[in-house]
Structure formats: structure tokens, C-alpha cells
Amino acid sequence: MKALFLDRDGTVNIDRVYINDPRLMELIPGAAEAIALAQRAGYRIHIVTNQSGIGRGIIPPDVLPLIHRRMEELLRLEGAEAPDSYEICPHAPREQCQCRKPLPKLILDAALRHGIDLSASIMVGDKVTDVECGKRAGCGKSYLVRTGAGSKEEALLRFTQNPRAEMVPDGVFNDLLAVVQAELGD
Ligand SMILES: [Mg+2]
Ligand SMILES: [Zn+2]
């Protein structure tokens, strides 16, 4: 089984810093089409997301599933199926947990649970920490997108001297749809 691991905020939906209400969920143009194309090509979709707003008390934990149901409604309206799973780090950074990206645990756990071949899988996100998470987990490819924080991250990376290998994406694309189109070769 191959998977497309997707960061959520800034990659699939518009980043509103803390989405604590389903009404704040809005897909990035082309994201649903990208997910639908990947699903038709046999990729499982796993959302891999740091939601520190839970640990900080800004996002009520019981609202998160409602936010994801809203995301699924919006995806279905554009022909995509719901993701196969949501891998969530609910911790604030100061909790120093073992799952917050760039740590690879969320991806590694999902791979075990769902029988995913990581070397055939792809991680996509709008931050260098997403790229690093994918690389440390052993994903075949880890890509940065310029949506969300991506353009800024790309610029920061360009001015970083001797970035660690795990920070350097295998490619930078304008958005998720461009990633999927390039991967599927059209
Ligand atoms: Mg993001
Ligand atoms: Zn965590």
C-alpha cells in the first residue's frame, strides 16, 4: 500500500492559525482535485497534523472531529473521498511530546497500522518541519508546497547555510495539485 501523507493547514486547507470552528474550514483551490486524482491512482490519504491549539486550550478536543467532518464534506463536493486517517499531535511544543512534527512518529505509526510501504509513499507540507518529518520517517519523497507558509519557508531555506539533509525537500511545487500532477506524470 502506498500513501500520500498530507500536512493539513496550509497544504489541504487555508491556514487560519487555529481552526477551532468547522465554519473556518476552507479548502485550498485544487486540493480536492489533487486528493481525488491520488486516490484514483491508488494512494491512501493520511492527514498528518500538529494541532497544538488543543494543548494550548484554544481548540476543544471534541470539536476537531467536527472540523474534519466538514473537511470531508467539502472534499466530497469536489469528487474526493474522505482521508483514510488523521494522525494528530495535540500537544503544545512545551510538552515535549514524542509525536509533534518534525518527529516522524505520526507517519511511522500510521504506516504500521495501515500496512503502508513508506518507500513508495510521499509526504507533502508547507513547512520544512513537514519535509523533515517525511524524510525521517523514510518516505520515498518529501515535497514542500508554496501555499500556506510555503513561500516563506522556501525563502528561509534558501538563506539557511548548510541545511541538514532532512530539511531539504525533494521538490518545491506551487500547490498540492501540482505535486500530484507531477507525480502522476501529466
Ligand atoms: Mg501546515
Ligand atoms: Zn505530540
pLDDT digits (tens, 9 = 90+) for 89-148: 999 999 999 999 999 999 999 999 999 999 999 999 999 999 999 999 999 999 999 999
Q: Is 67 exposed, middle or buried (0-12, 13-18, 19+ CB in 10 A)?
A: buried
If one counts every other C-beta atom within 10 angstroms of the C-beta of residue 179, the result is 24
The pLDDT assigned to 185 comes to 86
Position 12, amino acid: V
pLDDT in tens, 177-186: 999 999 998 5
Q: State the DSSP code for 26.
A: -
If pLDDT is split at 50, 70 and 90, which confidence band does 17 have?
A: confident
Residue 148: nearest ligand to its CA?
1
From 131, 151, 156, select the one nearest 141 (Cα to Cα).
131
Cα 136 to Cα 60, 105, 154, 157, 176: the distances in Å are: 30, 9, 19, 18, 21
The pLDDT assigned to 186 comes to 59
Q: What's the 101 CA to ligand 2 centre distance in angstroms? A: 8
The pLDDT assigned to 94 comes to 93
Q: State the DSSP code for 124.
A: E
Is the pLDDT assigned to residue 66 strictly greater than 80?
yes
Residue 52: nearest ligand to its CA?
2
Is the pLDDT assigned to residue 32 strictly greater than 70?
yes
Averaged pLDDT, 164-183 = 97
Q: What b/e sequence results for 91-118 when a residue is b if at least 16 CB atoms lie within 10 Å of its CB, and e otherwise?
A: bbeeeebebbbbbbbbbbebbeeeebeb
Q: What's the 94 CA to ligand 2 centre distance in angstroms? A: 10
In angstroms, how far is CA 26 from the centroid of its own chain?
15
User: Could you give the CA distance from residue 98 to residue 30 in angstroms, rounded to a whole number?
Assistant: 33
If one counts every other C-beta atom within 10 angstroms of the C-beta of residue 185, the result is 6
Q: What's the 83 CA to ligand 2 centre distance in angstroms? A: 20
Q: What's the 77 CA to ligand 2 centre distance in angstroms? A: 31
User: Could you give the CA distance from residue 62 to residue 95 in angstroms, rounded to a whole number?
Assistant: 20
Q: What's the 49 CA to ligand 1 centre distance in angstroms? A: 8
The pLDDT assigned to 69 comes to 98
Residue 96: nearest ligand to its CA?
2
